[in-house]
Amino acid sequence: MDVEQCIAKGLLRKDAPDIEKSRKSLAVSGKKLLKADKMQALELFEDALVNCYASMFHAGKALLFRDGIREKSHFGLWVYLNEKFQGTIEKRFLNELNALRLERHEISYGLGEADVTSEQSADALKTAKGFLAAVRRLLEK
């Protein structure tokens, strides 16, 4: 699926660019990252991972707000970033965003208990920090 298909299906919506919402979404991303760090320290690895994803999601939303796009689904956000920022944001960050999206979904809505290890949540934390830094650099341009 591509961005135009996401728009046609209502997963994304064109809107006016909004720099203020972009800034606010970036601030939320930073707060979620701090919370993930605290959850990691408390050995609440599922919560740390979910907050890492939330940080990446809100950082991604900051780019969409800047570009005049509203997300109506987590998948749509990933499609937009994957299509529009290929070569600008490292592919590993985009891949991990999608992997964490799926993991968060399973943790939040799945019937089984997720078994997130310290290493998995630490890796997610490192990735989320790198992603947020990459998005900040893009927004400063």
Nearest-angstrom CA–CA distance, 51 and 35: 7
- Rounded mean pLDDT, 2-28: 96
Q: Which of 72, 64, 56 is nearest to 21 (CA)?
A: 64
Q: Is the model more confident about 110 or about 98?
A: 98
For the chain, percent of residues with pLDDT exceeding 90: 86
- Rounded mean pLDDT, 120-134: 96
Query: Which pTM does this prediction carry?
Result: 0.93
- Residue 10: the pLDDT is 96
**Residue 40 belongs to what H/E stretch?**
helix 19-41
pLDDT tens track for 53-99: 999 999 999 999 999 999 999 999 999 999 999 899 999 999 999 99
Q: State the helix-helix crossing angle for 118-140 and 19-41, rounded to 10 degrees.
A: 160
* Domains in the chain with CATH codes: 3-140 (1.20.120.330)
**Tokens describing residue 97:** 């965003």
Is it the case that residue 133 has pLDDT exceeding 70? yes
**Tokens describing residue 65:** 């707000």
**Tokens describing residue 37:** 């760090």
